[in-house]
Amino acid sequence: MTGTGPSRAVPAGPAGGSPSGSRFSTAMLDDLLNNPLDPGYRLAFQDRQAAEHGPAGGPPPAGRRWWDGPLLWLACLAVGLLLVVAYQQQHQSAPAREAARKDLIDRIERLQQTGDSLDDRAKVLASEVAGLRDAQLPGNSEELKRLELASGALPATGPGVRIELDEPPAPTPAATGRPGTTPQEQVAVLHDRDIRAVVNQLWAAGAEAVAVNGLRLTATSFIRFAGESVLVDFQPISAPYTIEAIGNRNALLVAFADSPIARQLKTMAAVDGITFRFTGKSGLRLQSVTVAQPHYAGLGPATSGQSPSPSASESPR
């Protein structure tokens, strides 16, 4: 046995460990339980509290003044008063706005009734003019009637087809959601392009007269989408849409049933839930319309020293 000095025996504790080590472990556990915050973090926290609020019993730091607190309360009070005044003014002006809205709606309805009565009067006068013209132009009345029927100036009656389109049923509004927004499932599924496609298919199948929701279509009619409604010759219509066409009933039914727009509407009925029906009718009557005088584009006044081009002759546009 080699060594530099006599070996020293270490007395064993109750569990075979060192008594000093046991005391050290107990002290460390007590320190962890009583002082969980690291000393470095404690000092940094104390320095931050002193910088924000000043030392205990001393004056506030230089960045804050004694009147900052009352000034903040006064500012909050002023903002609250402004909100209360704005709220009262808004509720006081609400009846006036509602009255103005109702007055505007009444004026629009009166003007629409006046326009409808004038349109009916124009149709009556046009019929009287047609009767006087037929009396003065014997022999040409049949050709004139055929042209007037094609232009929509005369009512049309006969067999044909009726196509019905409607939006899917409106879902139950959700209890939650951001106010002022329209859910995607409530947006219109049918658009102007769908109605135009149906009308164009009926014309191509040989229809002699077509009407959409009772509005007779002519060679100058248009179907457009504006806002949440469809416009037919500047007159708004809404779902359900009823499209009627007069002509050879069987030919119209077969041609429309085999058309791409019919297959597309069937798909929309299966996927989106729209209403799509078309049936043959033995007797339909389409009202006439007031035919406006057509206008033609022409050349303007020629400038001095220039002659009009031969290819720019006057032609209808």
Q: What is the pLDDT of residues 177-231, one digit of tens each?
A: 554 454 544 567 898 899 999 999 999 999 999 999 989 998 888 899 877 778 8
Helices 249-257 and 260-271: crossing angle in degrees, nearest 10, is: 60
Of 227, 215, 162, 222, nearest in space to 188 by CA? 227
Helices 192-204 and 260-271: crossing angle in degrees, nearest 10, is: 140
Q: What is the pLDDT of residues 68-97, one digit of tens each?
A: 778 888 888 889 888 888 887 777 777 777
Q: What is the pLDDT of residues 139-190, one digit of tens each?
A: 666 777 777 777 787 788 999 999 999 999 876 555 555 544 545 445 678 9
Domain boundaries along the sequence of the chain: 92-138, 155-169+188-286
Contact, 161 vs 202, CB < 8 A? yes
Token pair 């049309």: residue: 156
CATH topology of domain 155-169+188-286: Alpha-Beta Plaits (3.30.70)
Q: How many Cα atoms sit within 13 Å of 208 on the Cβ side? A: 20
Task: Quote the tokens at residue 269.
Answer: 């009925």
Question: What is the β-pairing status of strands 229-232 and 209-212?
Answer: unpaired
**Mean pLDDT of all residues in 125-133:** 78
Q: Looking at residue 73, what is its pLDDT?
A: 86
Q: How many Cα atoms sit within 13 Å of 125 on the Cβ side? A: 8
- Asked whether the whole model's pTM tops 0.85, one would answer no
**For residues 175 and 185, what is the distance between their CA atoms, to the nearest angstrom?**
15
Of 205, 199, 196, 217, nearest in space to 287 by CA? 217
What residues contact residue 169 under an 8 Å CB cut-off, 6+ apart? Answer: 273
Q: What is the pLDDT of residues 279-306, one digit of tens each?
A: 999 989 998 887 666 677 777 665 544 5
238 residue type, one letter = S
**For residues 299 and 169, what is the distance between their CA atoms, to the nearest angstrom?**
53
- The model's confidence at residue 17, banded by pLDDT at 50, 70 and 90, is very low
